[in-house]
């Protein structure tokens, strides 16, 4: 059991003394000290009070070694996303860290997309992925990179590597932002999202390429959401045909205006 070490770790991360916590929980400081040093075991009422204080379930406090979790995983718990507390399907993300305990960015190439759909929650599978760092990204957030295929998100080229920031609360998904979504039916998709979770229980997915029609994904089918932050590609984006068409339209208008001016000079009529 990890109860003693866990409550000591959580207390120190909050920056609280034993006196602070004991006073809030209406315990003697010596009693709390006994719990933290495995000299005494709490009763059910004390367990419930400690669980509520840290917003971490009794199961997690007892069974999970919190010291083995990464910083992003601990932050998720401290924000109240413990699945036993929230009753949600959100979970502590499987992740890896480097020798300095900094979060890795795991790479999911095209050949690993099918395996990721089945192994996304498996720590051993995540450890098998190549990992790297991008020094300009925040160390306080969790990122993962996925290789995309197809032309639905042009001008981002086929085969690009898109990096996303892990989204814990799906209700915070903002309209008209791009996301990498993991679903059990379609696997990994990269689209612009329209958040209809509260109203209809779905995300409506849009492509940059207008040849692809929007479609809905029921939130129950979603397993992970990553907010797009950047992409890497060896290809240059295709020329923007919309800008070209706009420029041609402006040029045609100028030509028409010049033609009308010439007609007015010839006829003496104003247009």
Cβ-contact 160, 148 below 8 angstroms: yes
Q: Which residues contact 145 (CB under 8 A, 6 or more apart)?
A: 105, 106, 107, 108, 132, 161, 162, 163, 164, 232
pLDDT band for position 33 (cuts 50, 70, 90): very high
pLDDT of residue 86: 44
pLDDT band for position 157 (cuts 50, 70, 90): very high
Return d(Cα 21, Cα 216) in angstroms, integer: 47
pLDDT band for position 266 (cuts 50, 70, 90): low
Return d(Cα 23, Cα 63) in angstroms, integer: 26
Q: What is the pTM of this model?
A: 0.60
Neighbours of 94 (CB within 10 A): 17
Return d(Cα 179, Cα 20) in angstroms, integer: 42
Higher pLDDT, 244 or 214: 214
Measured CA distances, 129 to 30, 87, 146, 149, 168 (Å)? 47, 30, 11, 19, 22
pLDDT band for position 3 (cuts 50, 70, 90): very high
The strand ranges marked E within the chain are 105-108, 131-132, 143-147, 161-166, 177-183, 187-196, 202-206, 215-218, 222-232
Is residue 263's pLDDT more than 80?
Answer: no
Q: Find the mean pLDDT for residues 103-118.
A: 93
pLDDT of residue 168: 84
Is residue 237's pLDDT more than 70?
Answer: no
pLDDT of residue 228: 97
Q: Chain-wide mean pLDDT for the chain?
A: 85
Q: Which residues contact 267 (CB under 8 A, 6 or more apart)?
A: none
Is residue 4's pLDDT more than 70?
Answer: yes
Cβ-contact 54, 10 below 8 angstroms: yes
pLDDT of residue 271: 45
pLDDT of residue 89: 44
């Amino acid at each position: 059991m990890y109860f003693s070490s866990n409550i000591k770790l959580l207390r120190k991360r909050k920056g609280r003394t034993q006196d602070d916590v004991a006073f809030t929980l209406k315990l003697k400081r010596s009693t709390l000290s006994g719990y933290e040093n495995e000299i005494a075991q709490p009763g059910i009422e004390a367990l419930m009070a400690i669980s509520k204080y840290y917003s971490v379930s009794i199961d997690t406090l007892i069974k999970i070694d919190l010291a083995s979790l990464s910083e992003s995983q601990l932050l998720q718990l401290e924000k109240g996303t413990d699945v036993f507390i929230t009753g949600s399907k959100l979970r502590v993300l499987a992740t890896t860290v480097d020798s300095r305990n900094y979060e890795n960015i795991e790479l999911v190439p095209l050949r690993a997309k099918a395996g990721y759909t089945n192994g996304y929650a498996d720590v051993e599978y995540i450890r098998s992925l190549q990992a790297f760092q991008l020094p300009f990204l925040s160390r306080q957030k969790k990122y993962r990179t996925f290789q995309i295929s197809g032309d639905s998100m042009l001008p981002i080229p086929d085969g690009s590597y898109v990096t996303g920031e892990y989204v814990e609360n799906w209700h915070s998904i903002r309209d008209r932002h791009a996301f990498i979504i993991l679903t059990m039916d379609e696997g990994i998709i990269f689209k612009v999202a329209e958040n209809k979770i509260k109203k209809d229980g779905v995300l409506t997915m849009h492509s940059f390429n207008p040849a692809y029609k929007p479609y809905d994904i029921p939130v129950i089918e979603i397993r992970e959401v990553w907010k797009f932050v950047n992409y890497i590609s060896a290809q240059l984006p295709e020329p923007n045909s919309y800008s070209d068409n706009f420029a041609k339209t402006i040029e045609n208008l100028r030509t028409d205006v010049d033609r009308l001016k010439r007609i007015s000079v010839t006829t003496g009529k104003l247009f």
